[in-house]
Structure 1
Amino acid sequence: MTQIFEILLSGITQGAVYCVVAVGLSLVYGASRILNFAHGSLYSLGGFLAWYLVAGGFDLPLWMAVLIILPVLALTGIGIERVIIRPLRGSDNWKINTIMVTLGLAFIIENGLQLVFGPGTRTIAPFVEGTLELGGITLSWYKVWIFAISLMLVGALEYFLGHTRYGQAVRAVSQDMQGANQVGINVNQVFSFTFALSVVLTGIAGILLAPVFLVSPLGGWAPFLKAFVIVVLGGLGSTKGAFVAAFILAVLEAFVIFYIGPSWAMPAWLVMLIVVLMVRPKGLFGVWEN
């Protein structure tokens, strides 16, 4: 029984980080109906920037590196939306075009990371060491911290979207873009903001997981695929759905890895996705409609 609880807690702590990655992807889709295929590469970018500042020669503490990285990531998100996405919006087949453009951007970021940092993998030391003993269950203190940080980030985002004027503007744009524009909401500004916030969230996830997993220039596709499955399972555009789906799939992954093996984790996710979509084609919590 203790072993089962240990696996369960491991899945829950991992699910919190998956949630941060997925909520960023869901936020952009919910507001602008854009599926950003560069999302995973931006996750890798966050990890590499953290490594460069912490272990690549600057020897900064992680908290200071994060303070430097966050505005860089936000400006990156704004630049992507304004320079790459905005000119395509409104043109024929613009949704397909944005998928192709963001896919190309992912390859550009990957090759840029390889050019600057080399093809090898990197890692950084966790900001807290040791383990926590809880009723015979052993947990890494670092995973406990990233669980708490991830929950705080998602909770802050939900509060922002539901209880602030600008957050409600984001929801208004996601529900009726033309109506939001007619009542005076700057739709383009909302798009830029959601892209910036999405890149910041996925970058933070890359930073948090850098001490747990190796950072690789090509390592963003697995987080992107997982985020995509989470978003579809939860319901495209639903941050609440992404939150619930992230924990369901992370716990499933933990049990599958322990009892069957790591190579079966992603197939188990896809089977779960197919089963749920057969019953609820829009996912667990439906979709925001424009």
Structure 2
Amino acid sequence: MTTPRHVPVMLDRVVELLTPALDHDGAVLVDCTLGLGGHSEAVLERCPRARVVGIDRDPEALRRASERLAPYGDRFRGVHAVYDEIPDVLDGLGLPAVSGFLFDLGVSSMQLDLAERGFAYAVDAPLDMRMDSTTGQTAADVLNTYGAADITRILRDYGEERFARRIADRIVAERQREPFTTSARLVALLYDVIPAPARRTGGHPAKRTFQALRMEVNDELRVLERALPAAVDAIEVGGRVVVESYHSLEDRMVKRAFAAATRSDVPVDLPFVPEGQEPALRLVTRGSEQAPEEERADNPRAASVRLRAIERVRPGGPSSTPSRPHPRGVA
């Protein structure tokens, strides 16, 4: 088994955004996507009054991060869960509210770097792609059982793949000859189906298909849709939610959720917001932030990141839902 590398994306900026919410006794950060614990380690080091609850659906990631963070003793608590289970996790820990949430979305460094997990297209490996390898369908199950229309939808919506229908039709035809089991055969099919001019632009021709399969296998967008309002509802006054997204669909979902939570119900033509009717939350970042150019050059995983943050400024307010309209003036 190879040893994964771990380079947390926008580490200093993430800690900077979280620090004001964690600078008090009893502060608790919930790291909803613990991974190998790089962000959590920085918070524990730089915010000495804070504790961290680390959630991960991947038992191996949880084990490795727990070993890494063991020197911090009872300031760290690892929980095996999917991050849309936030209410259950907090109830189980006796925490009615917390000081912050961090979401670092997408596949973790460990999952990408361990070839045997099947997330990477650069080496031949079983087509698994489950973040929790103990449960659920694999990428091979998707390829071998979904109809052409559903495969097309997944590749188009999650991978933004221009040749989704062509790829789906070939997958369905090829699996009749032999079921898909390993990544090399899928990669070869993609090289054959995607026209040569298209293969020369936009990165590796398998990147979009592998991303789409991973998102489907792990139900990533629906999990995020449930988790965002749960996190917003669970932060105390002064608490913050910080999200790093790597996919346009994820970022749009975060943008809508944060816009809904910060919108005002005051009529548009009213020149001021009456006292007591201010939104319960405010945007900390204006629009989304990107990684600095030097970080993008050093760490390819930082190239597509979009970072957003929100803060609760008073009690109350409606639960944020991704379907609500944007508030006035939100970028």
Normalising to structure 1: TM-score of the pair?
0.26
Between Structure 1 and Structure 2, whose CA radius of gyration is higher? 2
Normalising to structure 2: TM-score of the pair?
0.24
Bigger RCO (CA 8 Å, 6+ sep): 1
Larger helix fraction of residues:
1
